[in-house]
Structure 1
Amino acid sequence: MLKPALATVALVLVSSTSFAATDPALDKVLRQLDAASVKFQSTEADVKDEFYEKVVRDTSTQTGSVYFLRSGDGMEMGLAIGQKRVRFKGGQGMLYDPSAAKKFTPFNTGQNQGKADSFLTLGFGGSGKDLERAWDVKLLGTEQISDGGQTVAVDKLALIPKDPGVKNTFTQVVIWIDPSRSVSLKQEYTTPEGDKRTVTYSHLRYNTKVDTKKYALPKS
């Protein structure tokens, strides 16, 4: 995921107008998300990140796990994928990448609040109102996705970012979301260069206790 999304915490070309006011089916999904957001406490999931680089026509894949936890400081998040680790809490985040020259990279949502808000609305506790504030949204239909042997009905939403900074990173995003729990099972990001990142979440553990110790960053 993931680095562009995390440095700010997962695709059909659509118009840049807002669709919520004119599509009753979309409005129903967004209001379901409003209700589910209030009940959301946590989610932990296995994650698969596939990145397709258009120039070289090559796809790389990494796997790991991620959690989102609502706390007194807002939304807390941890990611362990490949050798990378990300922790976000209280408006402060840190990316650890042992392959980088600078292994620890801090990021502060106060400096990039619009980007952070946009990505924190993509399921995992985000409400319909949150989505509408950050994205122009279109409902593409309903699909069935398998999650750990169970079939889950999800709504497929196409999103265009309202924040210009986000649009410079991703021109469009599609999410497959379960509005009854406010959780995403799949997210697909397209960059201005035509690269594509697909993030799939599976074996979701919804509103269960999360062991955050396994997401701890190495000591610098």
Structure 2
Amino acid sequence: MKTVRLIAGLLFAMAVLSPVHAQENELGWTMDSAIKQLDRQGSDLETVLAQVDIDWSGDAQGLDRIKTGRIYFNDDGDFRIAGETPNKRTLLVEGRTLHMYDPAASQVTEVNLSRNKGRLEPFMRLGFSITGRDLEDDYLITFAGEGEIGDRRTLTLELTPKRDEVRAVVAKIEIAFDQASWLPARQIISHTSGTQTLAVTYSGTARNLNLNPELFRDKWPRGTDKVRK
């Protein structure tokens, strides 16, 4: 009798646990399912607000002067970083122009990105304003697996540019997506020369807030000097 009860108990346990195990297998991400999820989550994305920690290594550029701050994105691909430490500098990417504002010097440097194609900052747009299918059009995508950043479960894609003009600037881009929001938790952008790497970690991310459009416009305090490159 005890043997019968033991067998019955084992069969019951197998019946209960098997669907759970099958469900766990079904929830495992593949590159294709990740791309589809990015498309779904990005279809209604209008704005993003987040805190950023920036780690720049290599030759000096705009973001080497900003370590922490707040970033604002819109669905046109424009973004603004308001620096908090070690200074209050601002970086704005607006269309094909990059603006670097230094309040201490009362000066803004404008960089024409069509003429200065070697900069890494514009590639921060990836993962925010571009869908999964767009990524597939422009990059070879490698599924780098799941992991964690802090208490966030992430899924990482590694992007290798297909076009020669992009490969001349960027060797690869790694984007770790937060599986709760399907927005980047971290981006690592590596320059082809091997002399520069830009790593950005995002936290406190909020989507589709009613951000002031003035954040994405080239407007600086009166008396600000402009330097064009």
Quick check: TM above 0.5? yes
- Please tell me the TM-score bracket, short chain as reference: 0.5 to 0.7
Residue equivalent to 2:44? 39
Judging changes above 3 Å, is the alpha-carbon distance between structure 1 residues 36 and 48 closer, same or farther for their aligned structure 2 residues?
A: same
Q: Provide the C-alpha distance between the structure 2 equivalents of 1:60 and 1:218, rounded to a whole number of angstroms.
A: 19
SS of 1:132's partner is helix
After superposition, the C-alpha distances for 1:174-195 in whole angstroms (9 at most, x for unaligned) are 1101366441110112222243
- CA apart distance, 1:108: 5.7
SS of 1:209's partner is coil
Q: Does 1:77 align with 2:73?
A: no
The count of residues paired between Structure 1 and Structure 2 equals 181
**Structure 1: segments with no counterpart, 5+ residues:** 1-23
SS of 1:78's partner is strand
Which one-letter code corresponds to 1:51 in the other structure?
A: W
Asked if 1 retains the 8 angstrom alpha-carbon contact of 2:50 and 2:72, the reply is yes
Residue equivalent to 1:20? none
Judging changes above 3 Å, is the alpha-carbon distance between structure 1 residues 167 and 50 closer, same or farther for their aligned structure 2 residues?
A: same
Judging changes above 3 Å, is the alpha-carbon distance between structure 1 residues 160 and 181 closer, same or farther for their aligned structure 2 residues?
A: same
Judging changes above 3 Å, is the alpha-carbon distance between structure 1 residues 181 and 62 closer, same or farther for their aligned structure 2 residues?
A: same
Pairwise CA RMSD:
3.3
Residue equivalent to 2:155? 155
Hey, which bits of structure 1, 4+ residues long, moved more than 6 A? none
Residue equivalent to 1:210? 211
Q: Provide the C-alpha distance between the structure 2 equivalents of 1:27 and 1:112, rounded to a whole number of angstroms.
A: 34
Structure with bigger helix share is 2
Asked if 2 retains the 8 angstrom alpha-carbon contact of 1:175 and 1:186, the reply is yes
Q: Provide the C-alpha distance between the structure 2 equivalents of 1:50 and 1:201, rounded to a whole number of angstroms.
A: 12
SS of 2:210's partner is coil
**Structure 2: segments with no counterpart, 5+ residues:** 1-28, 225-229
Judging changes above 3 Å, is the alpha-carbon distance between structure 1 residues 137 and 49 closer, same or farther for their aligned structure 2 residues?
A: same
Larger radius of gyration: 2
Judging changes above 3 Å, is the alpha-carbon distance between structure 1 residues 52 and 87 closer, same or farther for their aligned structure 2 residues?
A: closer
Asked if 1 retains the 8 angstrom alpha-carbon contact of 2:80 and 2:215, the reply is no
Asked if 1 retains the 8 angstrom alpha-carbon contact of 2:66 and 2:89, the reply is no
Judging changes above 3 Å, is the alpha-carbon distance between structure 1 residues 130 and 49 closer, same or farther for their aligned structure 2 residues?
A: same
Q: How does 1:1-220 map to 2 (within 5 A)?
A: 25-53=30-58, 62-70=67-75, 74-81=76-83, 82-89=87-94, 91-98=95-102, 103-107=108-112, 119=123, 122-146=126-150, 151-178=151-178, 181-191=181-191, 192-211=193-212, 217-219=219-221, 220=224
TM-score (norm 1): 0.67
- CA apart distance, 1:208: 2.1
Q: Provide the C-alpha distance between the structure 2 equivalents of 1:75 and 1:61, rounded to a whole number of angstroms.
A: 20
- CA apart distance, 1:211: 4.5
Q: Provide the C-alpha distance between the structure 2 equivalents of 1:61 and 1:36, rounded to a whole number of angstroms.
A: 30
Q: Provide the C-alpha distance between the structure 1 equivalents of 2:129 and 2:153, rounded to a whole number of angstroms.
A: 18
Which one-letter code corresponds to 2:39 in the other structure?
A: D
Asked if 1 retains the 8 angstrom alpha-carbon contact of 2:52 and 2:202, the reply is yes
- CA apart distance, 1:95: 0.9
Q: Provide the C-alpha distance between the structure 1 equivalents of 2:71 and 2:159, rounded to a whole number of angstroms.
A: 22
